[in-house]
Structure 1
Amino acid sequence: MSRLTKQLRQQMLKTVLNHAFADKQKAAQAEVDEAGMAVYMSVHEAHLPIMQQLPDGFCYKSHRFDVNIGGQSHNIYLDGEARLMAYRSNYNRYPIEANDPVGIAYLQALKKQEDVSNERSQMHREINAVLESVHTFKKLWEVWPECKSLLEKFEDKPTMAILPAVQVHRLNAALGLPVDEVQA
């Protein structure tokens, strides 16, 4: 019977959470990346042909830029290669109106990503409570049998000793065993 250590519980918790939330988090991040690229294009699309004709180094390239969407400041990180950026200081962020569909889509994507993160945090607390309430795998399988298929890889099962193929009756005869029959 294997006991659950703190380190083992943490690994098991991470495994369960990744199983449940990895795809949701990737999808939410992809949506944020797509919305961020749409914001980049709405801000820079009209100027890109001119910016691309300028000599190298005239415009800087970056993976992130700052916007002001309806009074809220956001740092948008672009996935992939660095993009051409028009110069703006930290005090002069790219403005986007609050009712602009591109800005609304970006804020909705951020909200969805935050909701997935909050849901994962809530599940983290609940799963941790279950794992902390048990001390052995046997008890864990009794309390939460559905998780066995996912978590049984963490259980150290005792190895069976492979005994030599010895003819026990010949060994008994050579040693004079059992003692009761020999003495009688």
Structure 2
Amino acid sequence: MSRLTKSLREAMLNAILSHAFDAKQKSAEQAKILAGEKIYQDVYGSSLIAMESLPHGFLPRNRYFYIAIAGRMHTVYCSEKRLTGVSHGDRHGTKAKLYVGDEQVAINFQEASELCSDLEKQRNAMSREISPVLESIQTFKKLWEVWPESKSLLEKFEQKPAIAILPAVQVNKLNVALGLPVSTAEEMKETA
């Protein structure tokens, strides 16, 4: 019977949360990056040819830059490093663009950002609900009794007792070689 250790519980919690949230969070992050690419095009699209014609290293390449929507700062992530304004990649520098908040590109970006934030909050809330359940259980046997539905996800963490593999040695040959009494198969059954 395997006991649940602290590190095992943490690994099990991560496995459960990953099963429930990883795909959703990855999809939401991709949507946020796609919205960020549209913000990039809105901010820099008309100036890209001029920006690319400048000498190499004149403008920084960043994977992110900062904007403001309705007075609130946001970090915009791109799928790869892109040319940005000199201080647009600095949190305390000037923002790449100040949006009022009613522009469609800004609305789409905020919705994508809020979805990512909501999923992170849901994951944290679920973590706070699952942790006490795992903490209150000491063995896998008890876990399967209390929460049998979790077995499909968590049984990979249960370590089955190791079966001793004995060497394939003929004991009777050893007995003969050592001058010990040789027991027959029937005598061995009777003693067992």
Q: What TM bracket, shorter-length normalisation?
A: 0.7 to 0.9
SS of the aligned residue for 1:124 comes to helix
Which one of 155, 159, 162 corresponds to residue 158 of structure 2? 155
Which one of 139, 144, 149 corresponds to residue 147 of structure 2? 144
Aligned to 1:92: 94
Distance 1:84 1:162 in 2: 63
Distance 1:151 1:91 in 2: 48
Shift of 1:75: 1.8
Q: CA RMSD in A?
A: 2.3
Distance 1:21 1:146 in 2: 18
**CA offsets, 1:74-103, max 9 Å, x none?**
1222222x2111334644312122101111
2:66 counterpart letter in structure 1: D
Shift of 1:122: 1.1
Aligned to 1:181: none
Shift of 1:162: 5.3
Shift of 1:156: 1.4
Shift of 1:56: 2.0
1:1-150 alignment to 2 at 5 Å? 1-80=1-80, 82-88=81-87, 90-93=92-95, 94-150=97-153
SS of the aligned residue for 2:26 comes to helix
- Alignment of 1:169 onto 2:186: yes
SS of the aligned residue for 2:79 comes to coil
Distance 1:172 1:91 in 2: 86
What TM-score, normalized by structure 1, do the two folds share? 0.85
Structure 2 unaligned residues grouped into runs of 5+: 172-183
Distance 1:92 1:145 in 2: 55
1:86 counterpart letter in structure 2: G
- State which drifts further: 57-66 or 96-105: 57-66
Distance 2:185 2:125 in 1: 60
Aligned to 1:182: none
Structure 1 unaligned residues grouped into runs of 5+: 179-184
Shift of 1:157: 1.2
Shift of 1:127: 1.2
Distance 1:36 1:120 in 2: 23
What TM-score, normalized by structure 2, do the two folds share? 0.82
Alignment identity in percent? 42
